Amino acid sequence: MKKILITGGGGYIGSMLSTELINQGYKVTVIDILKYDKGSLDHLYFNKNFIFINNDVGNTSLLKKQIKEHDFIIPLAALVGAPLCEKNKKDAVAINFGSIKTILNNLNNKNKLIYLTTNSGYGIGKKNKYCDENSPLKPISLYGQTKCDAENEVQKFKNTISFRLATVFGASYRMRSDLLVNNFVQRAVEKNYIEIFEPKFRRNFIHIKDVVKAIIFSIENFNKLKSNVYNLGLSSANITKIDLAKKIKKQLKTLKIKVIKNRSDPDKRDYFVSNVKIEKKGFKATISIEEGIRELIEVFKNNSNKITNNY
């Protein structure tokens, strides 16, 4: 039975990934301080294949010990998103870059590492061209810079896979509503109104369940994928912000959409992304934006619990 160590395993992606790995019979150890949601892993404590360590990734001796005992390392502990990293610059560099270097420095020959970075490193893409894995990385935020720097370090090691994630959407045990699709749907449900800056800015998206499936696919097909980096997104979901709003309006007919013309979006990312490389290896994201919107409408309509974001 493969043993998997996940740092930040109580987070938005981590809580969903930990759960699915346990369901599929893996042994999972999570290191997390559960900063944003103390209950995101409550449903796993009963399972004998699940170990939770309430500790910080800055604890180098703990990391060293745990790395030795596990086959796969999936480092998800990070300060995620541009606003949070701008607010906590020192921590952003220490966690997003420093903790990855610590892990890499302590890998042994049996360890396999799967690293999730972001396709926000592409910054502003060319108007009629898709960004692929050979496109230049030009991050326009500290968050993007720390993730790109860490990816560069990861790629120096053979037993690694890096995924450049599209903007993730969908419900999780540790919910976030600051991500673009989640945020638009929440505002649509709660206020029946969405304001949009820079409506033509482009993005690629992927459902959180497809992210989890891709990671499990990479565990099961590690040798076929290793020593490489892959864009990970839904190819049919290369759309503009205004297109996204219109898709939500199809399901919430009375929704009002207002485009604000004289204000700029602080998030300047604007690109379409090619996911052909990972699709050729045998994995394809399949959950549509429409399915995610339907799911999120129900979440925000029926769950009045406070959703803590990453800022």
For residue 307, being part of any structural domain is answered with no
Does residue 101 form part of some domain? yes
Assess if residue 203 is contained within a domain. yes
Does the residue 58 lie in any domain? Answer: yes
Please, what is the average pLDDT of the chain?
93
The per-residue b/e assignment along 184-199, b for 16 or more CB within 10 angstroms, e otherwise, is: bbbbbbeeeebebebb
Q: Is 311 a domain residue?
A: no
**Poorest-confidence range of 3-12, 99-108, 131-140, 174-183?**
131-140
**48-92: pLDDT as tens digits:** 999 999 999 999 999 999 999 999 999 999 888 888 888 989 989
Bridge partners of residue 134, in order along the sequence: none
CATH number of domain containing 40: 3.40.50.720
Give the list of residues 6+ apart from residue 202 with CB closer than 8 angstroms, or none.
125, 238, 239, 240, 270, 271, 272
More confident residue, 79 or 40: 40
CB 60 within 8 A of CB 36: no
- Tens of pLDDT, residues 163-212: 999 999 999 999 999 999 999 999 999 999 999 989 999 999 999 999 99
pLDDT above 60: residue 145: yes
Q: Is 310 inside any structural domain?
A: no
308: in domain: no
b (16+ CB within 10 A) / e for 250-273: eeeeebebeeeeeeeeebebbbbb
Average pLDDT of the segment spanning 217-233: 98
Residues of the domain holding 36: 3-302
Mean pLDDT of 241-247: 98
Establish if 28 belongs to a structural domain.
yes
Number of domains in the chain: 1
